[in-house]
């Protein structure tokens, strides 16, 4: 609720009007409804794209340069490895 209060105080200051406490509850409910709509749209999009399986990311991701498609040309450099935690490239 602190975030909603701060947002309303900022808006009241920007529009040069008084802060009214009842607006915090209305703003909070409107923002919750907005987030619910976003979540539902994302859920429907994931379902339409077939990305709603429990382990979809793990099943459909690949480490760079470790997964080669059929008829894909080989890269000149097949991969880069760092044994020092990737710090050598910063020098």
Task: Please state the domain extents for the chain.
Answer: 1-51
Listed residue (35, 24, 18, 19) closest to 2, CA to CA: 24
- Express each pLDDT in 13-27 by its tens digit: 888 888 777 877 888
Q: At 41, is the pLDDT very low, low, confident or very high (cuts 50, 70, 90)?
A: very high
Q: Is the pLDDT of residue 33 over 80?
A: yes
What are the tokens at 28?
Answer: 């909070």
Question: Rounded distance, CA 68 to CA 58, Å?
Answer: 17
Place of tokens 């040069």: 16
The better pLDDT of the pair 23, 51 is held by 51
């Amino acid at each position: 609720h602190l975030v909603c209060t701060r947002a309303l105080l900022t808006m009241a200051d920007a529009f040069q009007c008084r802060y009214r406490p009842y607006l915090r509850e209305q703003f909070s409910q409107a923002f919750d409804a907005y987030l619910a709509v976003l979540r539902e749209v994302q859920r429907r999009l994931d379902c339409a794209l077939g990305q709603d399986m429990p382990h979809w990311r793990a099943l459909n991701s690949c480490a760079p340069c470790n997964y080669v498609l059929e008829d894909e040309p080989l890269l000149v450099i097949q991969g880069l490895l760092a044994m020092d935690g990737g710090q050598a490239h910063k020098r």
